Every structure is written in C-alpha cells, then in structure tokens.
C-alpha cells in the first residue's frame, strides 16, 4: 500500500510575515548603496504600470526601514502621485547589522545567477516577447551584457551606441584570442596583472566606463587607457 504523502508544512527558513501598512510607515534606508538612473527608472515605472506590483517589498518592523524595494517604492510613488496609500509588505524583525546585510544581499547580482542565452532566446521567440518592451532590456544591454549575441542584437536596429558596443566586443574577442595565443607561445602570464576593485559595483562601474561588458574577465590595456582619456577629456 502506497504511503500517503504528508505535508511538510511551512519551511522553517521562511522568516517573514505579510502585513498591510500605510506607505508613510515605510522609511527609506539612508545607507542604501543602490541607485537607479532615469532611463532604468522609466523602464521600471513602465513595467509596474503594465504588470502591477507582483512581489512584496521587505520592511523591518523593528526600525521601520525599507530593506528591499527602494526603486519599486519610488516608482509606485510616481504612479500613485502621492504617498497616501497602503501596501502589503513582507515583514521581518531584525537588528541593525542584519538589516544592512540583507539590504545588500537582496540586490546583489553575484548572488542571483546569470542568463542562459539559449533559454532566453528560445523563450523570447516562442512567446513573442520583445527584448525591450516586454523584458525591459535596452539596446546597450543587448549589445554588451549578452556578449554581442546576434540572436539579440539583431532584434534592434543599429544605432551609434549599439554599433560602438559591437565594435568594442569585437575588439575584446580579438584581444582575448591574442592573449591566449601569446600565453601558449611564452608559457607565461607575466604580461597580465590583477586589479582588485573595492566592490562589485565599483568593478561594474569601471568596466562600463571602459565600454566593456560587466561579465568580462579579460580587459586589454587599450580599454584600460580609455579611463585616463575620459578623465582628461572631462577636465
């Protein structure tokens, strides 16, 4: 006789409750290290307007501070046109140290996996999902973050930014091939050095300034010199 499958109950790792509170009870974290540019904010507002809020913000009852969801809350304020409304939030009750750790972890890209380009391409094709209108990627995202994959870049008309990004990606691929070949010939990596950034965001910002995908691990000296050129041109 087959044994009946029993319910395991609520996961012991679930550490939040849900509660509906007034927007004015939610205070932004003054230390929040995340920011959003106007272009990304506009895409977020557009997405919320179309789909609504489908994921609860995280709020710490002990401090009244918003732990996760600052950009979504700002977008909601813009859509509502006021802060006189209520929200159902995920409520936690933690001390100051854990609150700050969670603030970073909830938004840490290095903890959230990477894109499987084959599956993403298949999904966008099968369901007719537009990379920009439906999935929220920009032309530059497609041209850089996805490694210049033709399945994605072909979905956009070439613009000066996208063309420049493609040229940069081609340069990176050539540099990488040259480095690999040189290492084989010399059996040495003496011409390579490691740069240690202050944080993931610092690294991402530096790579973006060089016009290099944030997932790249090989950067040519030519790309590095762009930082100095950019600094001199802005003086």
pLDDT tens per residue across span 153-193: 655 555 555 555 556 555 655 665 666 666 556 555 566 77
- For residue 110, the SS3 value is helix
8 A C-beta contact, residue 34 and residue 76:
no
Question: Pick from 86, 57, 50, 83: which is nearest to 72 by CA?
Answer: 57
**What's the confidence (pLDDT) of residue 223?**
76
CA distance 135 to 128: 11
**What's the confidence (pLDDT) of residue 235?**
33
Tell me: pLDDT of 224 over 50. Answer: yes
Tell me: pLDDT of 233 over 50. Answer: no
Residues constituting the chain: 235
**Neighbour tally for 11: CB within 10 Å:** 7
**Neighbour tally for 2: CB within 10 Å:** 4
Farthest-apart Cα atoms in the chain, separation:
80
Q: pTM surpassing 0.75? A: no
pLDDT tens per residue across span 10-26: 999 999 999 999 999 99
CA distance 192 to 186: 12
Domain 17-107 bears CATH identifier 3.20.20.60: no
CA distance 218 to 193: 10
Mean predicted lDDT score pLDDT of the chain: 80
CATH 3.90.1530.10 in the chain, residue ranges = 17-107
pLDDT tens per residue across span 105-114: 998 888 888 7
Task: Give me the percent of the chain exceeding a pLDDT of 70.
Answer: 73
Tell me: pLDDT of 229 over 70. Answer: no
Distances 88 to 11, 32, 53, 115 between C-alpha atoms, Å: 21, 21, 10, 30
């Amino acid at each position: 006789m087959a044994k009946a499958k029993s319910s395991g109950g609520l996961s012991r790792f679930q550490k939040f409750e849900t509660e509906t509170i007034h927007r004015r009870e939610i205070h932004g974290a003054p230390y929040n290290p995340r920011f959003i540019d106007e272009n990304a904010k506009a895409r977020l507002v557009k997405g919320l307007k179309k789909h609504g809020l489908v994921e609860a913000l995280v709020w710490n009852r002990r401090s009244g501070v918003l732990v996760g969801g600052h950009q979504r809350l700002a977008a909601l304020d813009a859509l509502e046109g006021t802060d006189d409304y209520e929200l159902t939030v995920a409520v936690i009750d933690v001390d100051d140290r854990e609150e700050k750790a969670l603030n970073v972890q909830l938004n840490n890209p290095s903890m959230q996996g990477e894109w499987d380009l084959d599956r993403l391409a298949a999904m966008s094709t099968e369901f007719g999902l537009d990379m920009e209108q439906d999935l929220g990627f920009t032309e530059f995202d497609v041209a850089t973050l996805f490694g210049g994959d033709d399945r994605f870049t072909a979905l956009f008309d070439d613009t000066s930014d996208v063309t420049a990004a493609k040229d940069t990606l081609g340069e990176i691929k050539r540099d990488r091939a040259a480095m690999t070949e040189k290492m084989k010939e010399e059996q040495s990596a003496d011409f390579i050095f490691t740069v240690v950034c202050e944080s993931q965001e610092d690294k991402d910002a530096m790579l973006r300034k060089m016009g290099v995908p944030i997932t790249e691990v090989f950067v040519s000296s030519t790309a590095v010199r762009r930082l100095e050129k950019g600094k001199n041109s802005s003086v």
